[in-house]
Amino acid sequence: MLENLTAQPADKILALMAAYRADPRDTKVDLGVGVYKDASGNTPVMRAVKEAERRIVADQSTKAYTGLAGDPAFGDAMIDLLLGDTIARDRIAAVATPGGTGAIRQALELIKMAAPDATVWLSDPTWPNHPSIIKYLGMASKTYRYFDTDTRNVDFDAMMADLGGVAAGDVVLLHGCCHNPTGANLTLEQWDKVIALLQAKSATPFIDIAYQGFGDGLDADAAATRKVVAAFDECLVAASCSKNFGIYRERTGILMAVSKTADMQPLTQQTLQFLNRQNYSFPPDHGARVVTTILTDPDLRADWEAELEETRNGMLALRKQLADELRRLSNSDRFDFLADHRGMFSQLGTTPEMVEKLRADHGIYMVGDSRMNIAGLNEKTVPILAKAIIDAGI
């Protein structure tokens, strides 16, 4: 049996990490893996997370299963954080998942079950796991243009033109905030136009939101998702707690499915639980319990929000420092887009050959599509990166 296996494509980011570790240069800079790092290059455990874990360890009396959907309190806390009072709670089915990736996988499984002929539309570019999972599941997909490599901003006219080809019943995957890999986001006015188009097409929106709180703040980053949820009878939302709670290895995510009416919610909820059972049965609980403890305790929540703001503002400061340094070195404003982008990532909009030149000549490691993790920088490495970009002729 096993001799029939064929090698699968290597994960480019994992290969990049290995190459970085093997590089002996002291000036090397890792901008590949999508993990937040502080000024010391560490990915710290947030204060509120440490305190929540201390309480959980002290008070927890069992490790018995929670339920196929996970602890209901986690679902309630996350729905409140992301959606607030946008729609009635009794329309929302929700299940805990192993990270945001698990939420996306379960959402795609749900689409495949409920609308097997639907085409899933993805932004070009998008997070590589989106098309990878869709291909593995044998689902139909198409792309819509999103990023203009000349302006390094959203190519909105091209996006709307491509979405004009969406058919009734298709699913359109949209990044809720802090677009990965580009860092370029739609304005709220542009979101309104996308919503109107998808309504006219009778399409179903599917929001992937992994960076709430990393862009313009918790509520501002949720604003587009809330607009979408309020505008449609049905939609899907996959959310991750990895970044904004810093609990990457705890694999904590949630899938929300909005039904047209409260009467339809129980069937949707039962189906989501069925899909969990077929995949991993009961979802992991520790990270979800940490998140629930923080979000339901006023003091812990206030401390978490304060530290999240420190993180967000730190990334914005790095963006401005990099844009300013590139403006100084290039004597032009062509890199100002870096200060306007939001979240952990920005895409330089250059070629894979230039990305390889940055790695070979300067020890700058970023993904081949020129996505770089801004959170991988610090005050000392920003000038190194800026000089490398100019010296490479980008």
Give the catalytic positions in this structure. Answer: 127, 208, 210, 243
Q: Is 345 within 8 Å of 180 (Cβ atoms)?
A: yes
Q: Is 35 within 8 Å of 375 (Cβ atoms)?
A: yes
- Residue 106 burial (10 A CB sphere; 0-12, 13-18, 19+): buried
Nearest CA to 309 out of 186, 171, 183, 217 is that of 217
What stretches of the chain show up as alpha helix (H) in DSSP? 12-22, 47-59, 72-83, 99-114, 129-136, 156-163, 188-201, 218-231, 265-279, 286-295, 298-330, 337-340, 352-362, 381-391
Q: Is 79 within 8 Å of 92 (Cβ atoms)?
A: yes
Burial 274-299 (b: 16+ CB within 10 A, else e): ebbeeeeeebbbbbbbbbbbbbebee
Q: Is 372 within 8 Å of 180 (Cβ atoms)?
A: no
Q: Is 318 within 8 Å of 324 (Cβ atoms)?
A: no
ω into 352 cis (within 30 of 0): no
Decide: helix, strand or coil at residue 107: helix
Measured in whole angstroms, the distance separating CA 63 from the mean position of its chain's CA atoms is 30
